[in-house]
Chains A and B, each alone.
Chain A
Amino acid sequence: MAMRLSRRKLASYLADELVAGKKDVATRLAAFLIDTRRIRELPLIVRDIEDALVSRGVVVADVDSAHQLSSDTMKLLERYVKEQTNAKQVHFRTSVDETLLGGVRVNVPGQELDATLRRKLTNLKATKV
């Protein structure tokens, strides 16, 4: 019976593969997880891969906003994320959430920038005595 591969080692390996530019990483990961019956670990493994990519200069950032962001804004955010994480390459996973009202929320491994109007209103409500 094959030895169970730890999630951390798997993530590290897959991060190296991604940085190397291999295209079938996702397919192989899916096959591996199905084969080893570890499908449930997928979100955790993805997160671990993202963490591993950070140390290799690649950052995957979650960007939530109330409107679809323009290319200029995306470039601005890319510069911001690179400055904050010293990453060479930034990938965005964007989503639109109208309840945020305005502004943007950027999540990178270990950091979060919440500049949404929803957050400002929440902070304002928190000043109630």
Chain B
Amino acid sequence: MNILTQFGAEGAGSGDVLSALGIDWKILIFQIIAFLILVWFLGKFVFPVLMKTIDARQAEIEASTKAASAAEKKAAKAEADIDKLMKQARKDATNIVATAREEANAALEAADAKAKAKADAIVAQAHEEIQKDVIAAKKVLHNETIDLVAAATEKVVGKAVSGKIDDSIIANAVKEVK
């Protein structure tokens, strides 16, 4: 409050406001002219270059932005494509795995069936061979028994059959024939 009062009192004393404010109007004009020259100079030589540079930069930025946007879109599309491809690949992979599993199961079952059939055939062949061996052994036993019986009968009967027994044998034979 005191400062304002002092400032008013000094202005009123000199009669010049600018002087009261400490401003020299000549210097002020000069400064204004200088400022205008500066503005003109800047507007004529500096700002166009700066603006051109800024415009170029802006254009670059916009182009970069556009490119970035396009790249982003491409990336998004690529990502979508990748997702799609991945989904398809996963689906294909699942199908392939399922098919491979089915084929493996089928191959396993086929191999199992083949092995079983082969085993059955081997067992059947073994049974057949055993049966043949048994039949052959029976035949051999049969023949050997006959030979043995014949030889034993020949030896025993030759000594055991007397004239009486022989007559009895003949009588029985004649009866059988009749």
B-binding residues in A (CB < 8 A): 65-70, 72-73, 76-77, 80, 83, 98, 101-104, 113, 115, 117, 121, 124-125, 127-129
A41 vs chain B, min Cβ distance (A): 34
Contact B150 A101 (CB under 8 A): no
Chain B residues bordering chain A, tally (CB within 8 A): 25
Q: Is the CB of A125 within 8 A of B146?
A: yes
Residues of chain B lying within 8 A (CB to CB) of residue A80: 174, 177-178
Least CB distance, A19 to chain B, in whole angstroms:
27
B165 touches A102 (CB 8 A): yes
The 7 closest A-B pairs by CB, nearest first: A115-B173, A102-B161, A67-B163, A128-B143, A73-B167, A104-B170, A67-B166
Say yes or no: is B169 at the interface (Cβ < 8 Å to chain A): yes
Most buried by A among B139, B154, B158: B158
B142 near A67: Cβ-Cβ < 8 Å: no
Asked if B149 is at the interface (CB within 8 A of a chain A CB), the reply is yes
Residues of B contacting A65 with CB < 8 Å?
A: 166, 170
B53 contacts the other chain (Cβ, under 8 Å)? no
Write the nearest CB–CB distance from B178 to chain A, whole angstroms: 7
List 11 extra interface pairs beyond A77-B174, A124-B149, A129-B139, CB under 8 A.
Answer: A65-B166, A66-B161, A67-B162, A67-B166, A80-B174, A103-B169, A113-B174, A115-B173, A121-B150, A128-B142, A128-B147
A-B contact pairs, 7 of them (CB 8 A): A69-B167, A80-B178, A102-B157, A103-B169, A124-B150, A127-B146, A128-B146
In the complex, whether B88 has a CB less than 8 A from a CB of chain A is no
A101, chain B: closest CB distance, angstroms:
5
Point out the residues of chain B lying under 8 angstroms from A121, CB to CB: 150, 153-154
Taking Cβ atoms with an 8 Å cutoff, the residues of B that contact A are 139, 142-143, 146-147, 149-150, 153-154, 157-158, 161-163, 165-167, 169-171, 173-174, 176-178
Q: Is the CB of B143 within 8 A of A101?
A: no
Interchain CA distance A114-B72 in the complex, whole Å: 121
Query: Within 8 Å CB of A101, what residues of B?
Result: 154, 157-158, 161
With A and B bound together, what is the CA distance between A121 and B142 in angstroms? 15
Whether the pair B178, A83 counts as a contact (CB closer than 8 A) is yes
For residue A82, give the distance in angstroms from its CB to the closest CB of chain B.
Answer: 12
Judge whether B157 and A117 touch: CB under 8 Å: yes
- Which residues of chain A come closer than 8 Å to B167, judged between CB atoms? 69-70, 72-73
